A and B are shown apart, each in its own frame.
Chain A
Amino acid sequence: QVQLVESGGGVVQPGRSLRLSCAASAFTLSTYGIHWARQAPGKGLEWVAGISYDGSHKYYADSVKGRFTISRDNSMNTLYLQMNSLRAEDTAVYYCAREWRHYDSSGYGAEYFQHWGQGTLVTVSS
C-alpha cells in the first residue's frame, strides 16, 4: 500500500531554518512527481512546492519562493523541503503528496494529488 510519511516538524524561532522529510514506501519514488502542501491552523489548503520525477523541474508558490527549496533523493526514496528564513505565517501542518498525472484530450498532463502523508506540524514562534 502506498505510504508517505513526513517528519522533521517542530517549533522553530522566526528567521531560523528547518528541513522536512517525506519517506515513500510501496512504490518507486523515481517515477512520480511529489508536492508539498500546507494548512495553517483552522485554514484551507495551500500548495507550496512540487518537483518532477527526476528532479529536473521544481515549482514554488510565490509565498515561499526564494526561502524554501524542494529536493529529492530517489536512491533513498525520500523527498525534502528545506525551509529557510521562517516566518510566523509559515506555521502549518505540512503534507507531502504523490502526484497523479492525467492526460486530457489535448495531451496536457494535469497534476492531481492521489496519495497524501499524514502531515507534520511546523510552528514558527519566538
Chain B
Amino acid sequence: DIQMTQSPSSVSASVGDRVTITCRASQGISSRLAWYQQKPGKAPKLLIYAASSLQSGVPSRFSGSGSGTDFTLTISSLQPEDFASYYCQQANSFPLTFGGGTKVEIK
C-alpha cells in the first residue's frame, strides 16, 4: 500500500500569508494526486487534481505542484474562508489513500 505523509500537521497563519503544505508518497505516483479542503462538520471539497490542475470554481490563490513522490499545496494569500483542514489523496493504485491532514488555523 502507498503511504501518504503530510506536513505540517497544523499551521498557524494570518490573513494574507502564504501557506505551503507538503505531501510525500512512499513510492512514486506520477502526478496522480489530489488535494481536498474540509471545514468542520462538512464533507471534503476537491481543490486540485492531477497534482497541479485547479478544479472548476476553486480560487486561483490555490495551486499545486510536484510529481513522483513529493507534492505541494500552496495558498498564495490566505483568506478567512481558507481556515480549514487539507488532505492529499493518491490516485495511483488501490487501496486509495489519504494523507493525515493539515489544519490551517488562525494565528
Bound together: yes
Q: Which residues of A contact B (CB under 8 A)?
A: 35, 37, 44-47, 50, 59-62, 95, 100, 102, 104, 106, 108, 110-114, 116-119
Q: Are the CB atoms of B96 and A35 closer together than 8 Å?
A: yes
Q: Are the CB atoms of B43 and A102 closer together than 8 Å?
A: no
Residue of A nearest to B31 (CB): A104
* 0 or 1 for each of B42-58: is its CB under 8 Å from A? (1 = yes): 01111001100101000
**Interface pick from B11-19, B20-28, B73-81, B86-94:** B86-94
Chain A residues near B31 (CB-CB < 8 A): 104
Name the contact of B30 in the complex, choosing from A45, A46, A50, A104 (C-beta under 8 A): A104
Docked CA distance A60–B94 (Å): 8
* Minimum distance in angstroms from A24 CB to a CB of chain B: 15
Chain B residues near A106 (CB-CB < 8 A): 30
Within 8 A of A (CB), among B78-107: 85, 87, 89, 91-92, 94-101
Q: Are the CB atoms of A44 and B100 closer together than 8 Å?
A: yes
Q: Which residues of B contact A (CB under 8 A)?
A: 1, 30-32, 34, 36, 38, 43-46, 49-50, 53, 55, 85, 87, 89, 91-92, 94-101
Residue of A nearest to B6 (CB): A44
Q: Are the CB atoms of A112 and B101 closer together than 8 Å?
A: no
Q: Are the CB atoms of B44 and A116 closer together than 8 Å?
A: yes
Chain B residues near A119 (CB-CB < 8 A): 43
Determine chain B's interface SS by DSSP, over half rule.
loop
Q: Are the CB atoms of B87 and A44 closer together than 8 Å?
A: yes
Residue among B1, B46, B55 with the highest chain A CB neighbour number at 10 A: B46
Name the contact of B101 in the complex, choosing from A44, A108, A114 (C-beta under 8 A): A44
Q: Are the CB atoms of A100 and B49 closer together than 8 Å?
A: yes
* Minimum distance in angstroms from B9 CB to a CB of chain A: 10
Docked CA distance A106–B31 (Å): 11
Q: Are the CB atoms of A113 and B44 closer together than 8 Å?
A: yes
A110-B50, A113-B36, A113-B89 given as contacts; is B95 within 8 A of A95 (CB)? no
